[in-house]
């Protein structure tokens, strides 16, 4: 032990940096590794956000990217995981295709929300912990994005429990959803929920409304209609098939292009 301590003590800073990089290489090269997809599945089942460190060479830049992801993870306590994805590893080819990572600038961090939906990513040049955390959607927006990845339209009803017409607005959305043969999801939001303020702002809701507001998102993530008060079922159904210019909350649905 004393010999090891003495040798470590004599390391200069350059040697120490090399040692750290070597340690990182061992980490990402598969020593005792589990398949990346299995790690992602485990985190998603636990309802955790994933900071997916995507790289093809375990070098100093890869280590820097990893450390920034770890810094972001610490801001979320136990609600997230940092997982590496080496694009050179053949076993990860399905994930590279799934997340559209072929040809992207590496290293980078891809953020998967608590439901496993990719919600954004940043290359090393633009990377910082706060920027990664800001990519994480609200719980209700996560639900909407998940539906969009499944090519479903979405009804979002924003109201309060005491608001007149709230129950009818939700019921009409549920009735319309049933008529859409499992191709639609209904999401209800309490307008007083501070955790959903960002999603509501993206939807351009009226914070002073005295009646429920219903927003219709088509399967491309575009907001095709906004209603105040209870809305007729047939109008809701019709709105789901509209295609317009522009994008929905936070952009179009994951992996989709606006108006296409």
Q: From the options 3.40.30.10, 3.50.50.60, 3.40.50.2000, 3.40.50.10240, give the CATH code of 35-134.
A: 3.40.30.10
Please give the average per-residue pLDDT across 252-259, as a whole number.
Answer: 43
246 confidence band (pLDDT: 50, 70, 90): low
Residue whose C-alpha is closest to residue 84's, from 131, 126, 26, 141: 26
Residue carrying structure tokens 């491309």: 220
Question: Using the 8-state DSSP alphabet, how is residue 52 labeled?
Answer: E
- CB-based burial of residue 216 (10 Å sphere; 0-12 exposed, 13-18 middle, 19+ buried)? buried
16 confidence band (pLDDT: 50, 70, 90): very low
Interval 44-83: pLDDT, tens: 999 999 999 999 987 899 999 999 999 999 999 789 999 9
Q: What pLDDT is stored for residue 18 in this prediction? A: 42
254 confidence band (pLDDT: 50, 70, 90): low
pTM of the model: 0.78
223-228 and 213-217 beta bridge pairing = antiparallel
Residue whose C-alpha is closest to residue 119's, from 256, 219, 215: 256
Please give the average per-residue pLDDT across 244-254, as a whole number.
Answer: 55
Interval 158-198: pLDDT, tens: 999 889 899 999 999 999 999 998 899 999 999 999 999 99
Q: What pLDDT is stored for residue 84 in this prediction? A: 94
Please give the average per-residue pLDDT across 252-260, as a whole number.
Answer: 43
CATH homologous superfamily of 139-239 equals Glutaredoxin (3.40.30.10)
Same fold, 35-134 and 139-239: yes
Torsion of CA 196, 202, 206, 210, to 10 degrees: -40
Domain limits of the chain? 35-134, 139-239
Partner residues linked to 83 by β-bridges: 52
Residues 136 and 142: their CA atoms lie apart, in Å, by 9
Q: Radius of gyration over alpha carbons of the chain, in Å?
A: 23
Between the CA of residue 113 and those of 79, 98, 132, what are the distances in Å? 10, 15, 11
Residues 7 and 69: their CA atoms lie apart, in Å, by 31
Other CB atoms within 10 A of residue 247 CB: 17
Residue 8 pLDDT > 70, yes or no? Answer: no
Long-range (24+ apart) CB contacts under 8 A made by 30-35 are 30/86, 30/89, 35/91
Helix segments in the chain, DSSP class H: 2-9, 13-28, 36-45, 60-75, 93-98, 129-134, 139-149, 166-179, 197-202, 233-239
Between the CA of residue 50 and those of 76, 94, 134, 190, what are the distances in Å? 11, 17, 13, 27
Contacts of 87 (CB under 8 A, 6+ apart): 54, 55, 56, 96, 101, 102, 106
């Amino acid at each position: 032990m004393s010999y090891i301590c003495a040798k470590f003590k004599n390391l200069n800073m350059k040697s120490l940096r090399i040692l750290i990089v070597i340690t990182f290489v061992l980490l990402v090269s598969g020593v005792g590794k589990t398949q990346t997809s299995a790690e992602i599945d485990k985190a998603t089942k636990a309802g955790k956000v994933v900071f997916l460190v995507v790289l093809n060479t375990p070098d100093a830049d890869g280590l820097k990217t990893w450390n920034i992801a770890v810094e972001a993870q610490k801001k979320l306590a136990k609600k997230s995981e940092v997982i590496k994805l080496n694009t050179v590893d053949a076993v990860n080819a399905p994930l590279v295709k799934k997340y559209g990572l072929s040809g992207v600038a590496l290293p980078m961090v891809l953020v998967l929300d608590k439901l496993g939906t990719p919600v954004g990513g940043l290359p090393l040049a633009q990377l910082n912990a706060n920027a990664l955390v800001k990519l994480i959607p609200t719980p209700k927006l996560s639900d909407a994005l998940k539906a969009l990845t499944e090519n479903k339209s979405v009804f979002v009803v924003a109201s309060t429990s005491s608001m007149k017409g709230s129950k009818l607005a939700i019921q009409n959305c549920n009735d319309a959803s049933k008529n859409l043969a499992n191709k639609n999801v209904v999401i209800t939001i309490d307008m007083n929920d501070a955790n959903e303020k960002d999603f509501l702002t993206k939807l351009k809701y009226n914070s002073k409304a005295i009646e429920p507001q219903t927003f219709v998102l088509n399967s491309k993530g575009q907001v095709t209609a906004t209603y105040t008060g209870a809305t007729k079922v047939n109008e809701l159904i019709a709105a789901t098939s509209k295609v317009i210019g522009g994008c929905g909350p936070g952009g179009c649905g994951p992996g989709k292009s606006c108006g296409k």
